[in-house]
Structure 1
Amino acid sequence: MGDPHRVGIVGLGVISRAYLDTLAGHPAVRITAVADLDATRAAKAAETIPAAQPMTVERLLGDSDVQTVLNLTTPAAHAGIALSAIAGGKHVYTEKPLATTFRDGKEVIEAAAAAGVSVACAPDTVLGTGTQTARAAIDAGVVGRPLAALAVMVTPGHERWHPHPDFYYTEGGGPLLDMGPYYVSALVHLLGPVRAVTGASSRLRDERVIGSGPRAGERIPVQVDSHTSAVLEHTGGALSTLVTSFDGVATTASPIEVHGESGTLAVPDPNLFDGTVRHFELGGTDWRALQPSAGYVDGARGIGLLDCIAASGRGGPRASGVHALHVLETLRAVRRSSAEGRRIELTTLVDRPDPVPLVPAKEWRREGGLRAGPG
C-alpha cells in the first residue's frame, strides 16, 4: 500500500475544519505541517494533529517532508501559494477557485506541467452521490437526449453568517466566483464542457453589514457584482442557464434541473455531497426518487485530495486542475460577457471528468482503498 502521503496545509480558516475532519488520521494521509499568517492559529491546529508541525508559510512551502500542499487560503492568494509550492516540486490541491484570473490559473497549470507535478482543485462535492448519481442517470439515457439545464443559487449573502466575510465581496469573490464553481463543475460533469457563454450582472448595494462574530454590525464595501445570470453553451449542444445571487432571499427552484427529450432530473445542491436525485419521465404523473448509484457515499471535503492521491493508477484526478481552469475560464468569460455585452467563446478544451463508481464510505474513509498515489 505504501507510506501515507505527506500533506502540508496552508490556511487554517473556517473551511479547514471540514478538511481536517476528513483527512486528520486517514490512513492514506499524514499531515506533517500546518501554516497560517496567524502563527497562533497554526499552533493551535498543530496541537490537534499528531505529527503536524506549525510553520511559517515560507518554511512549509520549502519543507522536503511535504509532498502535497493543501491550499486553503483566500482566493486572492491561491495562485501565489500554488506557484510557490510548484516551484518547490510539490503537488497542489487548492480550494476553489483555482485563481482569481484566468491568466493566473493558466500560469499555475503550465508551471505544474513543466515541473512534472499535479494540480487538483475543489469543489470535490461533485464527486459525491448527488451529482454522480445524476450523471449516471443521464449517461444511461434516463432523460433521453439532454437539451437544457437550469442552475440556481440565491442567498441574501454570506455576511449574515460568516464572521469575516470581506473576501466574498472583493475581486475573486462575489456569488459567481464563490458559488459558481460548484454549479459549473456539476454542469461539466453532467453535460460536458462549455464552448461559449453570454452573461449579465448587477449590484444591489455598495455596502454589507456583518451579522455575526466579533465584528457584527461593521460595514464592509462591495467591490464586485452580487447577482449574475448567464447562458452556457455546452459542446454537446445543451444550453444551461446559470443564476448566482447574493441579493435575493430564497428560491423554490431545484439547485440544478436537467431537461431531456424524454424526462427531467432534479439534481441536489452541488455544494453538498449527497441528496436525492429525482426523475420525472415524459408521460409520468409525479417525481420518482433515484437510489444512489454512483459517487463517494457520505463524501466530505477532502475526498478530492484522496481521489488525487489515488489517481496515479487511473490517469489523473477527477477534480483536476485542468478542469478547474476550464471552470474558471467559464466564470471569467461570464464576467467579461457581462462587461462587454457580447457572447464569449472559450479557449480551454477538456473532456468530462471520469465518472465515480459507487464507493462505500468504509472503503474511502478508513480501509485504505484510495491509498496508492503520487510519491
Structure 2
Amino acid sequence: MGDPHRVGIVGLGFISRAYLTTLRGHPAVRITAVADLDPARAVATAAELPGAEAVNVERLLGGADVDTVLNLTVPTAHAEITLRAIDAGKNVFTEKPLAVTFPEGREIVERAAAAGVAVGCAPDTVLGTGTQTARAAIDGGLVGRPLAASAVMVTPGHERWHPDPDFYYTAGGGPLFDMGPYYLTALIHLLGPVRAVVGAASRLRPERVVGSGARTGERIPVEVDTHVSGVLEHADGALSTITTSFDGVATTAAPIEVHGETGTLAVPDPNHFDGESRLVELGGTGWRTLPTSAGHVGAGRGTGLLDLVAAAGRRPPRAGGELGLHVLETMTALLRSAHEGRRVELTTTAERPPPVPLTP
C-alpha cells in the first residue's frame, strides 16, 4: 500500500486505549495527530506515539498530514465531527453509532458519497473469528435454511463501573444504542438486512448512581429507555428477536442463537472478536464446538479501520457507512415502533459484507 496511511484521532477517552493497542505500530497506518477536549490528555497520548502531534480539532481536520479521521467522541458528537471531516476531504471511521438520529446518519452517507470519501463505522468485532466462524457455518448449510434468531444482552447498567457514565443515559445512549449495534450488526452479517421491526421499551427508574471513581454516589438523570425488546423481519423471511437491557442483573441465554431447519447455532458474544460457536443438529447427540474457520485471528478494535484502508476504493469496507446507517435506522425504528405501538418498515437496506477468510 506504499507509505503508511495517516490517521488522526479525535476523542481520547476510555475506548481509545483499545484502538491504540491495535493501531500503534501497525505497518499499514501511522497516527499523525490526536485531539481531545482535554488538551493535557492529547499531549499525554501523543507522547506515547512516535511522530504524532497533539493538536486541536480544527487543525486535525484541516491538516494535510491526515488521510483518515478516527472519530472516538461521545455519540452526540459523532455526526458533527464526521461531517466536518468529510467536508475537509477526509475519510472517516467512527465509533458506533454512526449518529444519534437517522437523518444525521443519512446525511453522513450522502455527503461522503458526494465528496468521494470513505466512511466506516464500528462495530468491527464482527470481523473476528467469533462471528465469522458462525457465519461460515450458516453459509455452509450446517443449520439448513435459517428460520429465526435471538439476541440477548442484559446488564444492570454501566454506571456501576464507568466513572463518567452520563452519556450512556442521554440521547445516543441506553442499552439499544450502546450495545445494540454489536448484536444487530452480527445478525445482519449472519442473516442479512432487516426490512421491518416491531419494538417495545421501558425505563426502570429516572436516576442512576455512579458506582466508581471520584463521582461515586452522584446521581445522574436517565433520559432514554433502559430496556428495549423487538422483533426483526429480515429481508429473506427469517425472524430475529432482540433484547437489550440496563435493568436486569444477568442472563444465561446465549448472546445470539440462530435456528435453522436442521440445526441450532450458538454464536459467541459479538462485543468480542473471538469466542466459540457451538452447533446442535437435528437428530444429533448434543452440542459440539466448531473449529475456528473464518475471521481475523487475535483481532482488536481498529480492525475495521484497517479493512477500510485495505479496501482503498476497490471494494466496500466490511464495516462501512451504509451498514452503519442500516443499523442506525433499525435502532431508531425499534424505538419509534415502541413509542407509536405499530410495525415500522425500514427505508434502507445493506448488503451482507463479504465474509472474512481465516486470516492470521
What is the TM-score with the length of structure 2 in the denominator?
0.99
Question: Where does residue 32 of structure 1 map in the other structure?
Answer: 32
Question: Where does residue 353 of structure 2 map in the other structure?
Answer: 353
- How many residue pairs get aligned? The number is 360
1:215 to 2:209 alignment: no
Question: Where does residue 149 of structure 2 map in the other structure?
Answer: 149
For residue 188 of structure 1, report the CA deviation from its aligned partner. Answer: 0.1
Deviations 1:310-336 (A, max 9, x none): 012641210000000000000000010
Deviations 1:134-164 (A, max 9, x none): 0000000000000000000000000011111
| Unpaired segments ≥5 residues, structure 1 | 361-375
1:335 to 2:340 alignment: no
Rounded Cα–Cα distance in structure 2 between residues aligned with 1:144 and 1:84: 46
Q: Could you say what secondary structure the match of 2:214 adopts?
A: coil
1:92 to 2:115 alignment: no
1:284 to 2:284 alignment: yes
Deviations 1:242-274 (A, max 9, x none): 000000000000000000000000000000000
The two structures, once aligned, show a CA RMSD in angstroms of 0.7
Q: Could you say what secondary structure the match of 1:50 adopts?
A: coil
Q: Could you say what secondary structure the match of 2:283 adopts?
A: coil
Question: Where does residue 186 of structure 2 map in the other structure?
Answer: 186
Question: Where does residue 55 of structure 2 map in the other structure?
Answer: 55
Question: Where does residue 71 of structure 1 map in the other structure?
Answer: 71
Q: Could you say what secondary structure the match of 2:151 adopts?
A: strand
For residue 284 of structure 1, report the CA deviation from its aligned partner. Answer: 1.2
Q: Could you say what secondary structure the match of 1:286 adopts?
A: coil
For residue 58 of structure 1, report the CA deviation from its aligned partner. Answer: 1.3
Question: Where does residue 44 of structure 2 map in the other structure?
Answer: 44
Q: Sequence identity of aligned pairs in percent?
A: 73
Deviations 1:270-319 (A, max 9, x none): 00000000000001121000011000011100000001100126412100
Counterpart AA for 1:208: R
For residue 189 of structure 1, report the CA deviation from its aligned partner. Answer: 0.1
Counterpart AA for 2:318: R
Q: Could you say what secondary structure the match of 1:333 adopts?
A: helix
Rounded Cα–Cα distance in structure 1 between residues aligned with 2:236 and 2:314: 25
Deviations 1:108-143 (A, max 9, x none): 001100100000000000000000000000000000
For residue 349 of structure 1, report the CA deviation from its aligned partner. Answer: 2.1
Q: Could you say what secondary structure the match of 1:214 adopts?
A: helix
Deviations 1:47-85 (A, max 9, x none): 100000000111111111100000000000000000000
Rounded Cα–Cα distance in structure 2 between residues aligned with 1:58 and 1:158: 32
Rounded Cα–Cα distance in structure 2 between residues aligned with 1:20 and 1:349: 32
Counterpart AA for 2:278: R
Rounded Cα–Cα distance in structure 2 between residues aligned with 1:225 and 1:315: 37
Rounded Cα–Cα distance in structure 2 between residues aligned with 1:43 and 1:28: 24
For residue 104 of structure 1, report the CA deviation from its aligned partner. Answer: 0.2
Question: Where does residue 196 of structure 1 map in the other structure?
Answer: 196
Q: Could you say what secondary structure the match of 1:21 adopts?
A: helix
- The 5 A counterparts of 1:297-308 are 297-308=297-308
Counterpart AA for 2:179: M
Question: Where does residue 259 of structure 2 map in the other structure?
Answer: 259
Structure 1 residue ranges (4+ consecutive) displaced by more than 4 angstroms after TM superposition: none
Question: Where does residue 119 of structure 2 map in the other structure?
Answer: 119
Question: Where does residue 107 of structure 1 map in the other structure?
Answer: 107
1:233 to 2:233 alignment: yes
1:9 to 2:9 alignment: yes
What is the TM-score with the length of structure 1 in the denominator?
0.95
Q: Could you say what secondary structure the match of 2:334 adopts?
A: helix
Deviations 1:2-43 (A, max 9, x none): 000000000000000000001011110110000001101100
Rounded Cα–Cα distance in structure 1 between residues aligned with 2:340 and 2:59: 43
Rounded Cα–Cα distance in structure 1 between residues aligned with 2:252 and 2:314: 40
Rounded Cα–Cα distance in structure 2 between residues aligned with 1:325 and 1:252: 31
Rounded Cα–Cα distance in structure 1 between residues aligned with 2:102 and 2:313: 30
Question: Where does residue 135 of structure 2 map in the other structure?
Answer: 135
Counterpart AA for 2:290: L
Rounded Cα–Cα distance in structure 1 between residues aligned with 2:338 and 2:57: 37
Q: Could you say what secondary structure the match of 1:296 adopts?
A: coil
Q: Could you say what secondary structure the match of 1:187 adopts?
A: helix
Rounded Cα–Cα distance in structure 2 between residues aligned with 1:92 and 1:258: 33
Counterpart AA for 1:268: P
| Unpaired segments ≥5 residues, structure 2 | none
For residue 167 of structure 1, report the CA deviation from its aligned partner. Answer: 0.2
Deviations 1:184-243 (A, max 9, x none): 000000000000000000000000001111111111000000000000000011000000
Question: Where does residue 372 of structure 1 map in the other structure?
Answer: none
Rounded Cα–Cα distance in structure 2 between residues aligned with 1:354 and 1:179: 23
Rounded Cα–Cα distance in structure 1 between residues aligned with 2:354 and 2:217: 46
Q: Could you say what secondary structure the match of 2:199 adopts?
A: strand
